[in-house]
Amino acid sequence: MRVLAAMSGGVDSAVAAALAVEAGHDVVGVHMALSRNRDQFRSGSRGCCSIEDAGDARRAADVLGIPYYVWDLSERFEDTVVADFLAEYEAGRTPNPCVRCNEHIKFEALLDKATALGFDAVATGHYAQVVLRTAPDGTEVRELHRSPNTAKDQSYVLAVMGPDRLRRAMFPLGGFASKDEVRAEAAARGLSVSAKPDSYDICFVADGDTQGFLRDRLGARPGAIVDTEGTVLGEHDGAYAYTVGQRKGLALGRPAADGRPRYVLDVQPVSNTVVVGPVELLTVDRLVGDRAVWFADDVLAAAPDDGWFDAEVQVRAHGAPVAARARAVDDRSGVEVELVGDGLRGIAPGQSLVLYAGTRVLGESTVVSANRARGRVS
């Protein structure tokens, strides 16, 4: 197959490209330039997609003996991922830019361009597995599954791609059980990135100051911080800088009457108000999502007349899955999830929820509401 290897400049994508070459594929490496600031440099483990990273990717491609190109996707990245990030925070929601990058950049802009150029698949350094299953009608179905490397599993942020794009995706690192194994593979092949630190945080907020980034882009918008009764407790410079579940940085000046910590319960963009309260009010037992993506036609078809089926739900990239019941709604464009047990804390609109059956991804959706479990203290 002709395979386009997305090479970020890190060890994972370099080893993924190497494995694709060794599997006998005709591989071309490409680095996506996502920053409009060509002088941007990585700061230790913060940031990515810098000039430094592009150079590391080129050196890896040279070692592998494959052609290498840099594609400028910075305008597309700004207009989709960054714009969505700002719009979601401005609307009082908490986005996941890694999910949107996979949706709009890696498995849309990159994949579509690769297809137009005659490539059969795009290989990335994500930690996830594609498992083949034969459907009752004899057709082959590709399922997205967790990586055995549970600490690095990225199926949560990949679920947004959907089954059609999964057919043209390759994850050569899917079977690796640890990052140490991947680094050893890189060192054995003479790849200089074998000891390069992983990148963390939001790639376009390289200094890690998300509130500062939002303030620079959205400006100061003073408003009130109130309790659940509407009593004003303090002020803020922009409700967009707060997220449900946040405890630090409230700067209320005086403790609650009972001396207990207070957490952000709600962000109300229309009134520019932040609502705070005790931790038990963060517990929710029902989630509703929209923009649903499904990998589970068989599960949905086998559900009873009311549509409910058993699953596990995960609401953070490295969060633990919890038992739940779920069903597709609104002609499969949305999902309802009822949590089993003690519920979850601090779920904000805008977060991604991913449904699993064991290691298999069933579907993904964006949280639009999280119903508080009143009276329940977890």
The domain in which residue 63 lies consists of: 2-195
On whether the CB atoms of residues 60 and 29 are closer than 8 A, the answer is yes
Q: Is the dihedral of CA 251, 255, 256, 260 positive or negative?
A: positive
In terms of domains, do 305 and 269 share one? no
295 located within any domain: yes
131 located within any domain: yes
In terms of domains, do 9 and 99 share one? yes
Catalytic: 48? no
Calpha distance 299→284 (Å, rounded): 25
In terms of domains, do 367 and 318 share one? yes
Q: Which of 216, 222, 228, 226 is nearest to 86 (CA)?
A: 216
- pLDDT of res. 66: 98
In terms of domains, do 17 and 151 share one? yes
378 located within any domain: no
- pLDDT of res. 40: 53
The series of mean pLDDT values per 10 residues for the chain, 378 residues long, is: 96 98 98 74 55 93 98 94 96 95 95 97 97 89 95 96 96 94 97 89 83 93 95 94 92 83 95 95 95 96 96 95 97 96 91 98 97 53
Calpha distance 194→189 (Å, rounded): 9
211 located within any domain: no
In terms of domains, do 76 and 100 share one? yes
Q: What is the CATH number of the domain that holds 351?
A: 2.40.30.10
On whether the CB atoms of residues 117 and 28 are closer than 8 A, the answer is no
In terms of domains, do 189 and 90 share one? yes
Binding residues for ATP: 6-13, 32, 125
The tokens of 164 are what? Answer: 């059609």
In terms of domains, do 106 and 159 share one? yes
- pLDDT of res. 376: 40
Q: What is the CATH number of the domain that holds 90?
A: 3.40.50.620
Calpha distance 147→25 (Å, rounded): 23
- If one counts the domains in the chain, the total is 3
CA of 199: how far to CAs of 50, 54, 75, 163, in Å?
Answer: 11, 14, 22, 28
Binding residues: 6-13, 32, 125
Q: Which of 48, 49, 98, 203 is catalytic?
A: 203
**Which of these three, 256, 277, 298, is where a domain ends?**
277
In terms of domains, do 226 and 296 share one? no
pTM for the model: 0.93
289 located within any domain: yes
Q: What is the CATH number of the domain that holds 258?
A: 2.30.30.280
Q: Which of 48, 49, 98, 101 is catalytic?
A: 101
377 located within any domain: no
In terms of domains, do 32 and 131 share one? yes
In terms of domains, do 22 and 132 share one? yes
On whether the CB atoms of residues 210 and 193 are closer than 8 A, the answer is no
**Which of these three, 212, 247, 277, is where a domain ends?**
277
- pLDDT of res. 137: 86
Catalytic: 101? yes
In terms of domains, do 79 and 150 share one? yes
Non-local (6+) Cβ contacts of 48 within 8 A are 8, 9, 10, 42, 199, 203
19 located within any domain: yes
200 located within any domain: no
In terms of domains, do 95 and 15 share one? yes
- pLDDT of res. 208: 82
